[in-house]
Structures are given as C-alpha cells and as structure tokens.
Structure 1
Amino acid sequence: MTILHFTVPPLPEYIISGTTTANIGAKHPNRRNIGVFDLLVVRQGCLYVSENELGYDIEAGSFLILRPDAHHYPTQGCTEDTIYYWLHFQSSGLWSLDEHCTVPKKEELPELQPFTSNYFTIRVPQFSNLPQPQKVYDLLDSLAALVQNGHRIQSLWRQQLLFQELIEQLAAARNTSVSSPSSSCAEQAATYLREHFREEFKAQTLGENINFHPVYIARCMQKEFGCSPVEYLLRYRIEQAKVLLLQTDQSVSRIAEEVGFNHAAYFTSCFTKQEGISPRKYRQQFS
C-alpha cells in the first residue's frame, strides 16, 4: 500500500470540491502537474484512472489521491453510470511517499526561538477502501453545501474543519483492510436512514429492511458512529436542514417539515442543541 506522508504543522488545506455523474463511456480528465492533490471518492460505479503509468480501478466505497506532481489520465471510459466526488487540496508543508518522508529534526528548527511546534506525520493511503463510506459521503455532501457560500468567513472556517475530519477518515483506511461485520451493519443502517430520513423512524422497520435485529443495529452504530440510529437520523436531518437554510429562502417551519420534523419548535430545539445556534441565526451568519 502506497502511503502519503504529510508533515504537520501546517495542516493540509482544502481548496474546492464537487460531485460528478459520469455516464457510460465518460473519462476522467487527462492532466499533468496540476499543482494540487486531487482526491477521488467513488460512490457508485467505477472510475478508471492511471497515474504515471500505474492504473487504478476506483470502485464504489474506495478512494484515490492523485499527486500534484504527476501525470494522471483515464485508463478507459466508465463501463456503467458512475457517481464520484472530487476534492482539490494542497499542503504548504512537507509531504512525501512511503519511507521518504522528511520530518524536521529538532536541530533543523530555527534557533533562538523560545517555543517550537510539535511536528508529527499524518499517514494517508493513496489508494484504499473507505472503512466507513457513509461518514465520508456525509462530510463531502456537507462540504458541497458550504461551497455555495464559500466567500463567507464562517463558511471558509467550517470547510477547513470538515476537511480535517475527512483526512482523519482517509488516514483510518491504513489500519482497516477488511470491513468488519459491525461496520457493514452500521453502514447498511446509515444508508437506509439517509434514504428514508423524511419518514417516521421505527427500529423494527429498520431491522426488517436490512435483516438485522434492532438491538444489534443499535450496538453496531454506537460502535462505528458513536451514536444510536435515532441520534444518527437526527444529525442527518439537521445537516439536510443546514443545506436548505443556505440554499433556499424557505421558512424555518417549512424546512423542518422537509427534513422530517413534525413540529418546528422541536426542530429549532434540536438544531440549537446540535449547532449551538438557532436555524435563523445560522442562516443569517452566512447571508
């Protein structure tokens, strides 16, 4: 497994991201030395890309980080409709591949400084499966929503925070070669909840649809996501509400209804508890 090493500080910096739907026959762009890292995360289908003559088949639930100093080009066209995220980022600090990582030694740091930073290395696989795809999709969807208001200071700050969470998820792939049973169950549950987030939650219905006992599902989601199915659903509904608050002029009560809340007051309470700010103030700070 090829590992990218990033010396921190400074942290890698998010630039821009988006989602692409590639039809059958579509290909990734042919580019050389673009100067930034290009993260590709496939959600559906398969993307065929080469970097310096090394080919990669990026299947659903996997990712590839293309280097800023390399030539990357399509190996072939998509053989099925493919949906993938792309994200550009940069690192103004040192970075390298595998054993060639150079972390500043103490004697190499500037002299006559009373304090110096604690340097460390973030190790991220260049190509791997995602341990928890749904978490990564959630982060990338949230970034896409914030890009709509990217000129606002609050939005820029939030983008960098979400990107650091994303890097943490990618780095975790280094220690996970095979999806565990609990991870698989949690991912299936999360996918179902996202697809049916506007509907009333029933643990029994969830269990019947993914063929696991509700108690086992709750245990798996607690282990993998740090929350129960109900808590996951609530968080996801709030994230969807944030998108609507930023991208539409709908009233708070209408948005509450759109994301699955029966009462606007309860929605406002949940939103404020999770975000530390009311829906109206959240919208105002980005307007």
Structure 2
Amino acid sequence: EPDGVRYAVLVNDFGDLNIDADLVASHSGETIALANGCVCCSIGDSLVDALIDLMARPTPPEHILIEASGVADPRRIADIAVIDPDLLRDGIVVLVDAADVRRLADDRHVGETVLRQLAAADLLVVNKTDRSDVAALDALDGWLAGAAPRAPRLRARHADVPVRVLLGARTTMPSASQPGHVVGHGHGHGADRHVAGDHAHDDLHESGFRRALIDDLPTLDRHALSAFMEALPDSVLRAKGFVQLAGEATPFVLQRVGRSWTLKALPAGSAPPHLALVLIGTVEMPDEAALRTALARARQQI
C-alpha cells in the first residue's frame, strides 16, 4: 500500500497444493502460508504459531488479514485473533457468489456450512453482480437480510473492494464517491475480547466435501482443457491450479467457481510453478481416478 502501512496476509487453501499462497506471493510484500488444510482445524497449531511469530517481529504488522478456506468456520477463526493482548479482532468479511449462493445454501452437503458462514459475517461482499439483473439482485438482497441480518451488504464485481472496507469491516463503509455500492444497513458489535473456551478439533464442517489432486499435468491443448472443464459436474464446487497450454510461452492460472472458470497468464519471468489442479466438491464429486480418466479422454478426443 502506498500509505506505508504494514500488512500481513495469512493464506490458506483447502487442498493438497497451497496455490493461493503461490498467487499472493507473486505480489509485493511478505506472505505467510498456513499449513495445508482448513484453518480452523489448525487451532492451537499453525494459525496460532503464525500469529505469535508475526507479533514477535521487531516491527509487527499493523493489520493482519486471514484468508480462510471456503469450508472454514470464520467465527472460530476470529476468536483466535485475541491470543495476544495487542491484537484486536476487527471483523469477518464473507464473499458471496451472487449467482450461486442460494443453490449452495439448499445443498444437503454444504448448505449448513454456507448458512453458518453467512451468519458469522460482519460484512457481506456480494460478488459477480454483473452476472445478475437488478430484480435478481434485489431478491438476493432480501434473502441475505434474513440469512445475515446484522451484516451490511456491499455489491462488487470481480471482488473489487476498497481496502479500507476490508480493514474496518465493523465500522467503515465507502462513501458515495468510492467504488462499491452498499445495500442494507445491518449492525455490528464491539470487538470480542475473549478466546472461546472449546477449541477442540471439529471436522464436521469438512465432512460434506471431497478434494482431488491431478498432479504433474502435461502440456494441454486449450480445447481439450475446455472440454474437460465444461464436462465437470455441478458437484465440483471449486478448482484451481497451474496449467501449461500448447503454443503458449508462460503457464496459466486456472480458477473455477461453480460453473464459471477463467485462465490468466502468469507474468513473464515468473518462477515456473508446479503444474497441477486441485478440485474441491461435495462427496458426490468424482474421485481422483475418475477425474484423471476424464482429462485423458478429453485429450484423446482432440
């Protein structure tokens, strides 16, 4: 940030590859990647150690942002933010897929997790609003007001949100002259000054999910990759990874959320990444062997 404020970002990825850490590390500043697995499963371990290490630095950060996995319990993570008397819990920001959140909330495998995350929010960032019309967004706003009545709702495109909103989720909203559009009001509460008493390992939040790793990817034809991605069932909720496309000089970052997926070339001169895909879905998602077979079939058909 040009204002010289010291930030620390703790990155987590629910999968075998910490791809999110690789992506954030490509930006300026220092990134601390948490151990693989859900952050709230690391209570008393990786997350706590990372926070202690940060606060023990000669010049500790002024703001710490924790990016939890999509299956985490954000309230439990936020409770850890007061392990040091110099730490103050600021707020929980939940990113909402405007086109898909209601379907996921009704899903028998992940619905409870989705509703729990919404209820924990101090701020909802309703993303992908460019893919819905005004009537659909208004209907979604009413539904979110019931699911998270205390959280303001900020509409966004491409998750483009003013940084100061993320760093002041309880009290700070952008003015009319700034990017973003706030709908609803909600209300916040004072910062929690205690640590929850029961931090026992609880993996119920993860019981409705499956993950698969397609490792050591060969160079892929763009059409073969497209055929594979388009054929994935709705039980695949998320995919991310690095791929090398035939005829391209640099690898690409692949990101998939729901049915939408994108490719973005890595900057020239970037360190060569490990070519692999991590897929996350419900227990009905095809297993790793089936996914590998599907990719091989797509390559053979080109």
- TM-score normalized by structure 2? 0.22
**More helix, by proportion:** 1
Which has the larger Rg?
A: 1
